[in-house]
Every structure is written in structure tokens, then in C-alpha cells.
Structure 1
């Protein structure tokens, strides 16, 4: 195998350097050799991590389209095999960015990108006012902690530390409230005109400014937000005759807030950012079935082919310097799997009753943008799609353990999965829910049965070390043989594929939620709007009972305005199950009021 790998690697060097991409000769059956070829190209340094909106991901998409063409598949994009859409990939600093801070008539000097910069979720604007130190910016009455109790932030500028009194540990008792976006929402609701964020000197953390990379969940906080270096934060306190380290140590050791006005202080925050919008594309191919009726029913096989590029938002690398994130497992593995299944079913096309649509999505790492764009702008009638099979990170099979999401979205799934695993090769971990951290979620939100195959996370996840040499190609072959068995049944068995909505399910969140109430809304990150846009609502949920539906934008929840998901989460925490809350939504450009009776989580 080593000699084979070396030989293929030499071919790759030649092919990638050519101005015209050449497509490999592969065999119809699922095998490690083909997988190695595809994956080695997609996860090569030459593609620089396939960042959405980059020339390198365009090169990857050309390869995918040419391979589909070689197999004789029909183009099913809007431009041949391509379905183009636009995404915000970056933010550009315009002229009007500055930070002025004075304490006791002494000015602190700030240099843009050196010791301060706007955050990727800052709003634009120019504001000035007094400085108020609001500790960690956490409001957690249930834990006996509230940084906002003894201060008045009305028309002030809030100074807020990152993380929590527990430091930067990921499993903090404060949950999602340690997120900077959420702290900004809390301060804004209390009346703050701007927020200055910094890492406290007692926190074990490299003193890095918060990234300017946009956050698809909250592009605009609605007020200016900047981050400053720890040294500059210490200087502000020193000019006021205070010791920041001592103050932070007291808060951390006592777990009690200590917020106050910075006497004789003045700050002026100016932020002007411009979104950088790039074009990217899904790659879509079609294999028609042979049954006169069933060929109008379509099974989607999909995977995302984008990754993190040179790092930035989403990277878990120890160093925040730009590094190639090749994303061999995430998700060159799933992409290679789709190519291999496309070849396999092309060679067995005479057996197909139903049709197959192969989709390789861009923009997944930015918030499932490619799959969301497809289900909102389908290139085949959406009501003809009877199932969606998703593969994301299938390259690290360990002890034959395989996680399958979506097993509760059709009564067909578990019996079928057990049948194709008749020899018990795999030790399954079934997860009933159709929501999850990948592109199948977009299809499930449209009431389509889904399965998502996943071999598990690992220490190289979202790091530059996710490379080809870590891939278990034999494991990939096993997984794809299983998936091919599932799809073979779907496209040859005329039995109807029923859809089941998993009751009480909500989309997954990053940190654990400390919100007691349940609404049942599904977030939509595919479009940047002012408010909280929903992709749908759960069956039987309070949101459904209140008449909310896909496309609605929540702009007010109770007495709190909502500009993004963090405002929405902040507003919810003030209620308990059974409360009735008036909500204002935008529907087709018109404001609509409704009342939601909140459920319990």
C-alpha cells in the first residue's frame, strides 16, 4: 500500500500542477484505491483547505463536476453541474474605525489591529460615553451571579471581560452565557451604546484580539463592539487608580460580581465594516431511474466539500496564525464517498427504479449555507425528494463504531440499517433526531427523511493535523459498502418511504443551554437579516401553535428587541414555562403580532 500511495502521490503532483484538471481512471466497485486518489487530491495543500469563496474551492468544484461528467451523469445545477450562491466570507475595515479612551484626562493610545479591533459581530456606528466595568457581563440569577445588578448602563459604554469566573473552561456552569455575543446582547438590553471586550489578566489564555471573521449566526450585534488587548485594559484601570488583576482575582475567588463606573472616564468608539461577499457553488448531478412511475421519486446522496481554508473562525488550532486546514476527514472523506457511490450506481444504473441526485455542498462550515440554499432553491421539485443520505466525517472508523443520525425520521430506517448490517460488522450508535451538525438538517426541516453517517470526532477535528495520513481507508470502504446497501434498497424497493417528525426535538446548540423554556423554532443562518429568522417550527411546539412558520423573522420577544439569535436567547431566559409572551414577527415585510405560550425543556 505504501508503494501505491507514493505512486498516486506523484501523479497528484503532476495533475494538480496542470492548468487543466485530469480525472483519474477508477473502477466501478467501491475500493480503497479510488478513495485514496479522490481524498488525496481534495485534501492536498494545493487546495489550501477548500475555504468557501476561495479560488481553491473553485478548483475542487471543477474536479467534482468533471468527475460527474466522466461518469455520464446529467448536470442538475442551474449552470451545468453548478448551483451558484453568494456568501459573506469576510469583513473589510473601512475608513471610520477608531477608539479613543480617556481616564482622568489621560488618553490611552490605541492602534488598529495591534491592540484593538472591531469584532466580526460588531454593528457600525459612532458612539461616545462614560465607561462602566460590567465584570464578565454574565446575568445568571439562578446561580446567584449577576454582573449587571449594581450598575446603570443606559447610554454608557460597557467594559466586559471574556469567559467567566471559572476561567476559559468549556464546560463552565454558566453555559452559553460566556459567549461574547450573548454578553453583548445582555449589555445592549441594559442600555449600553457600545461594548469593549478584553481578556482579563487572571485568565489562562493567549492575549489575542477577537477575530474580525463574520459570525453567520449574528453578523450584526446592533451596536459597536471592539476587543482590546489585556495590556490596554490594564492601562485603563491603572489610569483610574485601580488594579485589574486584583479585581479579577477577587471576582474569580469569591464568585461574586464587582461592577462599577470608571470615574472621570470617556470613550468614543467608531466602527465601519463592509461585508465581503463571494460567490461559491454546489455541485449537482442526476442519475435517472428506470421505473416509469418511481423514477420521479429522488434519493439525495450528499456531503459538503468545503472546509476552513487557512483557519480562522471554527479552527481549533493552538496557534491562530494562518495555516492550511486540509480537512481530510472533514469532509474530503464524505465528498470522496459521494464520488465513489456515484461511480458505483452509474455502473448499476439498469437496476435503479428511483432516481438519485448527488449533491456536494459548499458553505457548510459557515452554517449549512449550501444545503439551505438548495432546499430553498431546489433544482428538482422538492416534493419528489423522498430521502436524503448525508456523509460527513466518515474517515476515522474506530472499532467499527458508526454513528447514524436521523434514525427516527422514518419507520423504515432502523429495520433497514439492521438488515444491511446482517453480519454485525458495525456497532451502531443510533440518534433518532433529524437535526444535527451537518447538511441533512436542511432537508429534515423540509419534512424529508434523512440519515447522516459519521465515524466520530477526534483530536484532529478542525485542526491543520486533519490530514490524509490519518484516514482509515479500509474503514471508509466498509462504511460505503453499508451506505450503498441502504441506497440500493431505497432505489430498488418500491415500498413507500414514510416521513416521521421526531417529537420535541430542537436543533443542536454549541454550549449547553440554561434556558428553561421551549419555543420550538428552527434557526435559519442562510440569510443575514435583522432579527431571528426561522427555517421552520417543530410539530406540536408552542411556535407552531402560535402560528409561526418558515421564513418568519422574530424582531421582538416580549419587551426585548431581537436583532440576532443571541438577542433571542437572552430574551427567552427571562421567562418560565407556562408564561405567555407577545412576539412580533416580520412576515413578507409586514409586522405581525402573536402570543406564544412557552413550553418546558
Structure 2
């Protein structure tokens, strides 16, 4: 799941677009207008078309998938990494075991494409503060204390961290724009375009901006290569680390020595595609993105587990693949299962698939994308986002049927892998349980998953899919 953050001139803090997406109840949104918008909740004929999977979901199967995908063996599944390839092979092996047809004879279940790949490891990053006499030193670490800066300023454009930095400077706290901050690295609690522009013009060497997340700063990726060639240091700091830096200044530890270098290259990355052929003339898609943010500390086995984002979605997709393949005689549509890659770096995998689809575009009736299911609390909304065609009332009915009260239905926007198919006027919907307490931090681990919520959300999504299209 990609969260788009805007730092807007004159507004303090970070505005998350996903949090203010309007609820759209207009069923005239572009899509397949022939879709019947109803929810058949009648008792199911055991020999008729499959209508729900309520009694068929195996919690233990899903948990086994999720545990492996969020585990240290494939630490973080960053696109272009060997760990990501292991995760892709895991999904391909599951597809093969279920008897799904591979994407092609040449590449098997893999659908390869080229993608920009940014490596960010802690061994590339050094940040120390000392006193003038250099008798006391405190070290800070990438991902534990800092993450890289990525913000879109209204009427100005995107501001990135530099690709490389190596310099020393005095650390000071920002007070007001009348102070000259030449040759300083400045702690800024609430950044605005005016402040950033003044720091640039003063000749400051950088700014460290307080991020509200604790203990780890939230990591955000841009479109592949998220860095520029400036020499102005820009970092987000976690709340705890920002407080430590402020205390350092008060005790005289205010000399910064910082350096890092980012490695960026083009890599071959794979979507994983399996086809459940029931002999129908049309298909539906079940998808989830397999990539996350990777490793950041090889020595200490530091990695972004990405349990909710999005080992949960892959686990749900694999469980539906198992159920559907075991009930193939009760399916009236072919099903294409896709583990997309490159979502975190900019929806690369789903874009590639949308230009290289299985079969003809017209043969795909709808796509259901799982991106974060089973968050830790129902206090967080289930966000249903995309081009949902005539499904609005069915979505509302199914949420009511499964006791899901805290949800929104939002228009198509490029924050998950539903987007590119939706832009082609295919019904394409993402389901996102956006429990953002650990979003894009190393604390997004399996113990934060609520499997009761996971199973219920997966059952609702499957019921919506089957009642709407398996006929």
C-alpha cells in the first residue's frame, strides 16, 4: 500500500490523502455496466456455483504463509533483491502444487519486467554527534532513527533526500526565519515550504524533520529512484530520536558528522501469475503485492517484515487459490491469481501486467486486490478503493452481512495495484485495512495481525467476488 503524503505550504504536519478520501456512493463510475448489483445471500447449493468460502478458509494455512513471508529468511522482500526472488518462488511453488497453469512456457509462473531498484542498507549510513572536544559521542542509525525525506510541496514540486552526503556541521534547533542558519544542520519540528526555502537560501547544510512515528520513522519510497543530486541533507527523524537530538544540543553534543551513499540500478523483477482455467470465456483476477521494503541492517538482521503490508494479502490470495482450485467444478469464471511486484516503488508490476494481460482485456470481468487485511483492530477502517462499477450496493450489503461497520468506499486513485486495471475501465477494487500504527516500520510484524479480522475480511471479499461474478 502506498500512502501519499503532502507537506502543504501554510499547513503544519503531514496530510495523508488516503485518510481524507471521500466516500463515493455513485454506482455510475466507469466499469462493466452489465454487472448485476445484488448480493445473493440465499442458502448455498452444495453442487451449485460457489457463493462463499465461509467454512472453507483455513486459518492455519493462511498463518503459515504469512509467517514465512514476513519472516527473516526473506527479510522484507524488496523488489530486485534475492529475498524478493525467494518470495516469488514460494508463491510459484504454491501455484504449481495447486495445479494452476503458468503464465508462459518460457518463464513459468514468472512475468518478468525491468524496474528501478534502490538499495538502502545501514552500512551505507553513518550519523554521529559529538561535543567540541570529541570526548563524548552518540551514534544514530538508519531506519532505527532516521528515514529519507520525500515530500510534495504544493505549487513547488517534490523534494527528495540527496543520493549521497558526506559532511560535518553544527546541529541547531530551528527558532524562526530571521536567524541565519549558514553551514548548520537544523532540527525542524514542523516543516513548511517557507522554512525549507529559507534554509536553502541561508546556505544551511541540511534539515532533520520530526516524524510523528515512534520508535521508528516511517519509510516512504518514491517512484523507484527517490533521490536527487543535491548536497542538502534531508532526513525524517522518529519522535524519540528527535527528542534525543534536542537533548544532545542542550548538553553540548552538537557537532554532526554524517555520510551515506545510495545505490540505484535497473533490475529484472517478476510478477507471479497462475491461471485457474475452468473453460469459461471470461476471467476474474485475485491479486496482492508481494514486495515490501527489504533489509536495512544485515549485521543485526534488521528488516521491514511487512506482515500487514502485504504478507497478509499474499496469504489471503494463496488461501483463495487453494479453495477455488479445490472447488473448480463450482466455478463459472476462470480465475487469474497474481502476486504483483514493485508496488512500494510505484505500482510497477501492476502497470506492466495491465499492458501485458493474460488473454484479451475484454475477457477480464473484474479484479479484486488484497493489500493489507487483518489489521490489529476494527477501529481502523477497511478502505475499499478503485473502479467498482455497479458494485456499490453489493459492497455495502456484504460489509453489513459480515459485520464490517467501519469502512469507506473511495474512488480510483494510484495508491495500490487496483489502479492500472481500473484506469482501463475494468472493475478493479483494492481492500485495505489501513491500521497505520506500524505502517512502513520494522514493527509491522506478524504478532500485530488479528486473524479473526483477517478471516472475516477474506470471507467477505470472496463472497462479494463470487456472488457478483460466479454466475
Q: TM-score, normalised by structure 2?
A: 0.62
> Aligned pair 1:83/2:123, yes or no?
no
Task: Give the match's secondary structure for 2:369.
Answer: strand
1:216 and 2:223 matched: yes
- Counterpart residue number, 2:65: 38
Kept in 2: contact 1:89–1:214 (CA 8 A): no
Is the CA contact (8 Å cut-off) linking 1:311 and 1:323 kept in structure 2? yes
**CA 1:158 to 1:374, structure 2 compared with 1: closer, same or farther past 3 Å?**
farther
Q: Corresponding residue for 1:60?
A: 87
Query: Closer, same or farther in 2 for the Cα pair 1:311/1:474, shift >3 Å?
Result: same
The answer as to 2:270 corresponding to 1:281 is yes
Report whether the alignment pairs 1:451 with 2:458: no
Residue 394 of structure 1 pairs with residue 383 of structure 2: no
Residue 474 of structure 1: which of 438, 443, 452 is its match? Answer: 452
Alpha-carbon distance in structure 1 between the residues aligned to 2:85 and 2:318: 17
Secondary structure in 2 aligned to 1:405?
A: strand
Question: C-alpha distance in 1, partners of 2:393/2:434?
Answer: 22
What residue in structure 2 maps to residue 122 of structure 1?
162
Residue 486 in 1 paired to residue 464 in 2?
yes
The equivalent position to 1:423 in structure 2, one of 401, 414, 431, is 401
Following superposition, the deviation at residue 135 of structure 1 comes to 8.9
Aligned partner of 2:186 in structure 1 is 161
Tell me, yes or no, if structure 1 residue 51 matches structure 2 residue 91.
no
Q: Which position in structure 1 is the counterpart of 2:242?
A: none
Mapped to 1, the partners of 2:221 and 2:372 lie a distance apart of 25
Change (3 A) 1:90 1:487: same
Q: CA deviation at 1:360?
A: 0.8
Deviation at 1:68, TM superposition (A): 0.6
C-alpha contact 1:368 1:439 (8 A) present in aligned 2: yes
Query: What does residue 413 of structure 1 align with?
Result: 391
1:225 maps to 2:232: yes
User: Within 5 A, what are the aligned runs for 1:335-346?
Assistant: 335-346=314-325
Q: 2:382 aligns with which of 381, 384, 403?
A: 403
CA distance in 2, matches of 1:221, 1:323: 26
Q: Aligned-pair distance for 1:31?
A: 1.8
Q: 1:39 to 1:191 in 2, by over 3 A?
A: same
CA distance in 1, matches of 2:375, 2:164: 43
Say whether residues 1:301 and 2:279 are aligned partners: no
Provide closer, same or farther for how the CA distance between residues 483 and 204 of structure 1 changes in structure 2, counting only shifts above 3 A. Answer: closer
Relative to structure 1, is the Cα distance of residues 275 and 491 closer, same or farther in structure 2, using a 3 angstrom cutoff? Answer: same
Shift of 1:134: 12
Which residue of the partner structure matches residue 11 of structure 2? none
1:356–1:191 Cα change, 3 Å: farther
Corresponding residue for residue 7 of structure 2:
none
Q: Contact 1:89–1:213 at 8 Å: present in 2 too?
A: no
- Cα distance change on mapping 1:449 and 1:273 into 2, 3 Å: same
What is the CA–CA distance in structure 1 between the aligned matches of 2:62 and 2:301, rounded to whole Å?
28
- Asked whether 1:71 is paired with 2:71, we answer no
Higher relative contact order structure (alpha carbons within 8 Å, sequence separation ≥ 6): 2
Question: 1:339: Cα distance to partner?
Answer: 0.5
Aligned residue runs from structure 1 range 315-334, under 5 A: 323-334=302-313
| Alignment TM-score, normalising by the size of structure 1 | 0.50
Say whether the 8 Å CA contact 1:307–1:325 is kept in structure 2.
Answer: yes
Residues 31, 91 of structure 1: CA spacing in aligned structure 2 closer, same or farther, 3 A cutoff? closer
Number of residues of Structure 1 aligned to a counterpart in Structure 2? 381
Instruction: Tell which deviates more after alignment, 482-491 or 451-460.
Output: 451-460
CA–CA distance in structure 1, aligned partners of residues 262 and 450 of structure 2: 44
Residues of 1 paired with 2:354 and 2:289: CA distance? 14
Change (3 A) 1:427 1:217: same
User: d(CA) in 1 for partners of 2:60 and 2:345?
Assistant: 31
C-alpha distance in structure 1 between counterparts of 2:119 and 2:436, whole Å: 28
Distance 1:219 1:443 in 2: 25
Deviation at 1:286, TM superposition (A): 1.6
Contact 1:405 1:432 in 2 (8 A): yes
Give the greater-gyration-radius structure (CA): 1
Residues 218 and 488 of structure 1, relative CA distance in 2, 3 Å threshold: same
Which structure 2 segments of 5+ residues have no match? 1-54, 123-133, 143-147, 150-160, 238-248, 252-258
